[in-house]
């Protein structure tokens, strides 16, 4: 976990940080919806990558909508969100 | 996921820099992925097959498939969890469990077998943790977890993807496969990793049998089904499927026929009664019948003994040099590795699989060669190829229900390719099942053409038989039973 913390710190503070506008305000209210609902994947810098195909992800990168670093950042967030359940 | 790659952000940043300078290496450039923890990476991550016995071990180099993905510009995000030793260690065990990784669970049902042994590779793709991943298969370990998580699994012909740098089970059946949410994604991954490798002489068999520019060129729309001819080995496999599954798969086959395909029922494997266990998955069915010299387990357990020693001979910073060392480690560390029966909840039978291999001493005696010869002959020319020949009216591929594990086992023994297309879920378990396309050796182009056409048909017709209609339900997500129900 020490390592994970340092990756996040690097992301926020370092040269690889996602642009400010891609960091949403932390949500402070969570619904009481069922697991299947709160497991939904958040947008990645405003773009939907839930169930995105590789072609769609390439299009995002080709259009400069998302960088590979931002994409990795969003998948890492997804890992933090789900791994305690699915491993 | 078992481990995160400390270098992932740097790799992604360098891929972004390359792209900004106008270089896009491939359609995987900048795309994150995972590999199963038995696939070596020469970096700051472990390669352990989930076992503490290999903690800290240093591999000589990247696995060939990892090196090829680095060359393609993909971003190695980490290692996926798995069934320890890819299920070689025990014959009564909790699928998806490893000492290092804990119990992997499917988001469709947390309490049951999540599919394995490439459990994490499939679960991570199904849950959008990565867009694609790699797994390995000896006897169902790509196809089964792909099916049970409603994604596409592509298990190529043995010899299409190099096993160099991969913790082995059996050189005769091991192959590296790919996972994606769509046929296209799984094919992009395969295109990046296949090829001849001097460190795995089985890969020379593909020479002259692979396309110049990869398999993606064969991706097709539903119209491609017009000239398709498929076989249904009903007596060999299909008759074992449950009614709910049959109703769904039959409805899909009706759609495939309406799209113009010819579907021939009753294209059987001549030796089905000798090679298809009536009681489900059984890789020692020959011995069950009283004929160890007709059983795949006979050569697999000898191969493991020899192949693991070869793998370990190039690995440093570990006391593990042989199967004997691993078995002793599991006994010395019985609390974590469950080396004796009845101690560890995930390893009910202890390490009986490793012990069976140990007992073989890797000997390649007459029984070994007879078993190998029998299994290859009855699954290849007198098996799948005979069914495809269809009495002279040659078929393109067989359609099989991969939930009937024996169908996948026969393909594993033949070393022949399979690709799965998600179908629906079982109402009693919420767990997904698939339709699969099975072909002869190195017929991946045919499989890509028709699996993508079937997928396109199911999606464009807005049928109920597609991944998007059966999202994970997180059933039982508050439970943590161990072992999981099989």
Domain assignment present for B486: no
Peptide bond into B479 cis (omega under 30): no
Provide, as residue numbers in chain B, all residues whose Cβ is less than 8 Å from the Cβ of A57.
30-31, 131
How many angstroms away from the CA of B265 is the closest CA of chain A? Answer: 35
As given in the structure block, the two tokens for residue B440 are 């002869």
pLDDT of A29 reads: 55
pLDDT at B52: 98
CA-nearest residue to A74 within chain B is B129
For A37, the enclosing helix (H) or strand (E) is: helix A35-38
**Distance in Å, alpha carbon of B207 to nearest chain A alpha carbon:** 29
CB contact under 8 A, A85 and B182: no
pLDDT number for residue B486: 85
Q: Is pLDDT of A7 > 80?
A: no
CB nearest B184 (choices: A41, A53, A61):
A53
Task: Give the best residue of A75, A82, A83 to mutate against chain B (max B CB count within 10 A).
Answer: A75
Q: Is A55 domain-assigned?
A: yes
**In B382-476, beta strands by DSSP E:** 397-400, 418-425, 432-438
Q: Which of B96, B181, B474 sits opposite A36 (nearest CB)?
A: B474
Say what the pLDDT of residue B390 is: 97
Tell which phi-psi region holds residue B321, choosing left (phi > 0), alpha (psi between -120 and 50) or beta: alpha
Closest-CA residue to B32 (of B153, B185, B147): B185
**Is B481 inside a domain boundary?**
no
Cα distance between residue B343 and residue B345, in whole Å = 7
Read off the pLDDT band of A35 (50, 70, 90): confident
A30 in any annotated domain: no
| pTM, entire model | 0.95
Number of structural domains (chain B) is 1
Query: Which chain B positions have a beta carbon within 8 Å of A62's beta carbon?
Result: 24
Beta carbons of A71 and B12 less than 8 Å apart: yes
Residue identified by tokens 């299994």 is B375
| CB contact A59 to B (< 8 Å) | no
- Establish if A44 touches chain B: CB-CB under 8 angstroms: no
pLDDT-based confidence at residue A10 (cuts at 50, 70, 90): very low
Please state, in angstroms and rounded to a whole number, the distance separating the CA atoms of residues B149 and B108: 7
Q: Do the chains contact at B27 and A54, CB–CB below 8 Å? A: yes
**Residue B476 within a domain:** no
pLDDT at B17: 98
Angle (nearest 5°) at CA B164 between B161 and B170: 80
List CB contacts (< 8 A) between B19 and chain A: 61, 68
Is B101 close to A87, i.e. CB distance below 8 A? yes
* Min distance B213 CA to chain A CA atoms (Å): 18
Given B90, B141, B357, B443, the catalytic residue: B141
Concatenated DSSP letters of B466-486:
SGGGS----TTTT---SSPB-
Cα B186 to Cα B219: distance, rounded to the nearest angstrom? 11
Which residues in chain A have their CB less than 8 angstroms from residue B15's CB?
A: 68
A50 interfaces chain B, CB cutoff of 8 Å: yes
- Given a contact cutoff of 8 angstroms between Cβ atoms, the answer to whether B200 and B436 are in contact is no
Mutation choice for B interface testing from A33, A43, A54 by most B CBs within 10 A: A54
What CATH number does the domain containing B333 carry? 3.90.1300.10
How far is the alpha carbon of A2 from chain B, nearest alpha carbon, in Å?
12
Closest-CA distance, A50 to chain B, in angstroms, reads 6
- How many domains, chain A? 1
Q: What CA–CA distance (Å, rounded) separates B86 from B241?
A: 26
Identify whether B468 is a catalytic site residue. Answer: no
Q: Any chain B CB within 8 A of the CB of A8?
A: no
In a domain, A44, yes or no: yes
- Rounded to a whole number of angstroms, the distance from the CA of A28 to the nearest CA of chain B is 23
Is B452 known to be catalytic? no
Q: Point out the catalytic residue in the list B98, B117, B124, B296.
A: B117
What pLDDT score does B336 carry? Answer: 97
| Residue-wise pLDDT tens digits, B61-110 | 999 999 999 999 999 999 999 999 999 999 999 999 999 999 999 999 99
Q: In 3-state terms, what secondary structure has residue B132? A: strand
Alpha helices in B49-178 (DSSP H): 64-71, 119-126, 143-148
Q: Would you call A11 an interface residue with chain B, using a CB distance cutoff of 8 Å?
A: yes
| Residue B287 annotated among the catalytic residues of the structure | no
Q: Which of B8, B24, B472 sits opposite A72 (nearest CB)?
A: B8
Q: What is the pLDDT along chain B (486 residues), one digit of tens a residue?
A: 999 999 999 999 999 999 999 999 999 999 999 999 999 999 999 999 999 999 999 999 999 999 999 999 999 999 999 999 999 999 999 999 999 999 999 999 999 999 999 999 999 999 999 999 999 999 999 999 999 999 999 999 999 999 999 999 999 999 999 999 999 999 999 999 999 999 999 999 999 999 999 999 999 999 999 999 999 999 999 999 999 999 999 999 999 999 999 999 999 999 999 999 999 999 999 999 999 999 999 999 999 999 999 999 999 999 999 999 999 999 999 999 999 999 999 999 999 999 999 999 999 999 999 999 999 999 999 999 999 999 999 999 999 999 999 999 999 999 999 999 999 999 999 999 999 999 999 999 999 999 999 999 999 999 999 999 999 999 999 999 999 998
Full residue range of the structural domain in which residue B445 is found: 3-469
- Is 90 exceeded by the pLDDT of residue A22? no
Instruction: Categorize the per-residue pLDDT at A13 as very low, low, confident or very high, splitting at 50, 70 and 90.
Output: very low
Domain that holds residue A78: 39-87
Any chain B CB within 8 A of the CB of A74?
no
Look at B132 and A50 and tell me if their CB atoms are within 8 Å. Answer: no
CA-based nearest residue in chain A for residue B121: A87
Inform me whether the pLDDT recorded for A79 exceeds 90.
Answer: yes
Helices (H), B293-432: 296-312, 323-332, 334-337, 352-360, 366-379, 385-389, 405-414
Q: Kindly determine whether residue B131 and residue A68, on different chains, have CB atoms separated by under 8 Å.
A: no
Taking CB atoms and an 8 Å limit, are B110 and A85 in contact across chains? yes
Residues of A in contact with B99 (CB under 8 A): none
Sign of the torsion formed by the C-alpha atoms of B26, B29, B32 and B35: positive
Kindly report whether the peptide bond that precedes residue B461 is cis, defined as omega within 30 degrees of 0.
no
């Amino acid at each position: 976990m020490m390592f994970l913390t340092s990756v996040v710190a690097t992301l926020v503070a370092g040269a690889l940080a996602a642009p400010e506008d891609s960091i949403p305000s932390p949500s402070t209210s969570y619904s009481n919806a069922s697991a299947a609902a709160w497991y939904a994947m958040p947008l990645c810098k405003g773009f939907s990558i839930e169930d995105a195909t590789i072609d769609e992800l390439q299009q995002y990168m080709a259009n400069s909508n998302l960088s590979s670093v931002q994409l990795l950042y969003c998948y890492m967030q997804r890992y933090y969100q789900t791994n305690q359940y699915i491993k | 996921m078992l481990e995160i790659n400390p270098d992932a952000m740097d790799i992604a940043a360098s891929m972004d820099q390359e792209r900004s300078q106008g270089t896009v290496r491939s359609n995987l450039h900048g795309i994150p992925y995972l590999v199963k923890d038995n696939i070596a990476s020469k970096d700051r991550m472990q390669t352990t097959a989930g076992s503490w016995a290999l903690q800290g071990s240093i591999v000589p180099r990247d696995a060939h498939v990892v090196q090829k993905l680095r060359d393609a510009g993909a971003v190695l995000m980490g290692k996926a969890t798995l069934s320890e030793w890819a299920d070689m260690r025990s014959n009564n065990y909790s699928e998806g469990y490893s000492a290092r990784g804990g119990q992997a669970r499917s988001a469709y049902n947390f309490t049951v077998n999540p599919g394995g042994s490439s459990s994490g590779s499939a679960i991570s793709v199904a849950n959008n943790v990565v867009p694609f991943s790699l797994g390995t298969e000896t006897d169902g370990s790509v196809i089964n977890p792909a099916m049970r998580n409603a994604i596409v699994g592509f298990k190529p012909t043995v010899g299409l993807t190099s096993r160099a740098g991969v913790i082995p089970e059996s050189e005769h059946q091991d192959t590296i496969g790919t996972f994606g949410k769509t046929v296209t994604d799984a094919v992009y991954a395969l295109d990046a990793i296949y090829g001849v490798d001097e460190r795995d002489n089985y890969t020379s068999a593909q020479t002259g049998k692979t396309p110049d520019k990869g398999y993606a060129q064969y991706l097709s729309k539903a119209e491609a089904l017009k000239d398709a001819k498929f076989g249904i080995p009903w007596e060999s496999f299909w008759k074992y499927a449950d009614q709910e599954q049959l109703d769904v798969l039959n409805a899909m086959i009706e759609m495939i026929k309406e799209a113009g395909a010819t579907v021939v029922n009753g294209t059987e494997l001549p030796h089905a009664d000798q090679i298809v266990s009536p009681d489900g998955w059984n890789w020692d069915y020959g011995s069950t019948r009283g004929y160890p010299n007709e059983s795949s387990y006979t050569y697999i357990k000898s191969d493991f003994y020899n192949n693991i020693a070869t793998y370990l001979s190039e690995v440093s910073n570990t006391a593990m040099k042989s199967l004997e060392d691993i078995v002793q480690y599991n006994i010395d560390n019985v609390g974590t590795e469950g080396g004796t029966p009845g101690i560890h909840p995930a390893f009910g039978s202890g390490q009986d699989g490793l012990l069976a291999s140990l007992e073989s001493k890797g000997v390649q005696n007459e029984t070994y060669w007879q078993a190998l010869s029998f299994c290859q002959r009855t699954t290849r020319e007198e098996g799948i190829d005979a069914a495809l020949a269809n009495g002279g009216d040659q078929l393109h591929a067989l359609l099989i229900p991969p939930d009937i594990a024996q169908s996948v086992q026969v393909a594993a023994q033949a070393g022949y390719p399979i690709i799965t297309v998600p179908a629906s879920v079982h109402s009693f378990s919420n767990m997904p099942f698939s339709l699969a396309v099975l072909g002869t050796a190195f017929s991946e182009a045919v499989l890509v053409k028709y699996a993508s056409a079937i997928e396109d048909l199911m999606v464009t017709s807005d049928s109920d038989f597609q991944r998007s209609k059966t999202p994970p339900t997180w059933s039982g997500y508050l439970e943590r039973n161990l072992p999981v129900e099989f």
